[in-house]
Amino acid sequence: MVKMGDKQQDETVQTVATSESEDDDEMEMCQMEGADEEMEDENEDEKVYLPGEPLEEGEELVCDESAYMMYHQAQTGAPCLSFDIIPDSLGDKRETFPLTCYCASGSQSEHGHLNHVIVMKMENLHRTTKEKKESDENEEESDEEEEDDDDEEKKPELETASIKHSGSVNRIRVTTIGQKSIAATWSENGKVYIWDLTRPLHAVNDSNIMSVYIRNEESPAPIYTFKGHQVEGFAVDWSPLMEGRLLTGDCKKNIHLWTPKEGGAWHVDQRPYSGHTSSVEDIQWSPNENN
């Protein structure tokens, strides 16, 4: 047996303590390096997509919902090229959640006789909830159940009422005339239709009316049809200053002015504006001038 002096014992204890401290430091450094590598891997896995960049094998585009104040998805069945907001009486520039919105769209089915004008009511639209942080994942079961109930109550609701439309809808625009919501649609068959959306709007607002609407297969006819364009078109716009005034332009350069008449009819000038030299893809009224 070898005896060590007090000084030697102190040095040995200090050496052991120093060794343990160094091991702890090395372990902490390894953990930090591992965390940094994980963050780098995450940054490599997730990046902003630039339009035109090809997707590599295994890559997919994922929506970052945290970028939106409100984000919801809905399906109408057939694809729709055009839609427009239906003005309502719920107030302008409203920002209090949940929100309600009315809109109209036009379908583009492969079979022309299966197309529709779709009147939609979207309600119970809540603010988009950001993804939960990791620190919030270990909540009690009771809290999770309450959250599930909240999620159920916050589910958005969509009601739709359809109107049969002849041909695919190239474009749809909605305005208010008197107390009625009126829509104009450009059809691929070269005709422009005017629709009164009163009945389908009543249907999306009242479940009893909706039941009757569906049971009777209701489909209000257009209140006016213009056949003066020789070809189809896409350009259509209601005047924001003169109620019921409309402009339509076709793919053969012709632009027609519509002036409302009594009894829900329109006078359409048979002589189109001839200043345009090629297809009229879109048209807009001045926001502050009648002409």
Sequence ranges of the domains in the chain: 65-130+152-268
In angstroms, the Cα distances linking 236 to 31, 110, 171 are 63, 23, 7
Helix (H, G, I), strand (E, B) or coil at 55: coil
Domain 65-130+152-268 has CATH 2.130.10.10: yes
Full-model pTM = 0.76
Q: Give residue 215's pLDDT.
A: 98
Digit-by-digit pLDDT tens for the chain (291 residues) are 444 555 454 544 444 445 455 555 555 555 555 555 555 555 556 788 888 899 888 888 888 888 889 999 888 888 999 999 999 999 988 889 999 999 999 999 888 789 999 999 999 999 987 654 444 555 555 555 555 666 778 899 999 999 999 999 999 999 999 999 999 999 999 999 999 999 999 999 999 999 999 999 999 999 999 999 989 999 999 999 999 999 999 999 999 999 999 888 999 998 999 788 899 999 999 998 887
Helix (H, G, I), strand (E, B) or coil at 141: helix
Of 40, 35, 133, 122, residue with least CA distance to 83: 122
- Cβ contact 190:230 at 8 Å: yes
Q: If 0-12 CB within 10 Å is exposed, 13-18 middle and 19+ buried, where does residue 258 land? A: buried
d(CA 213, CA 160): 11
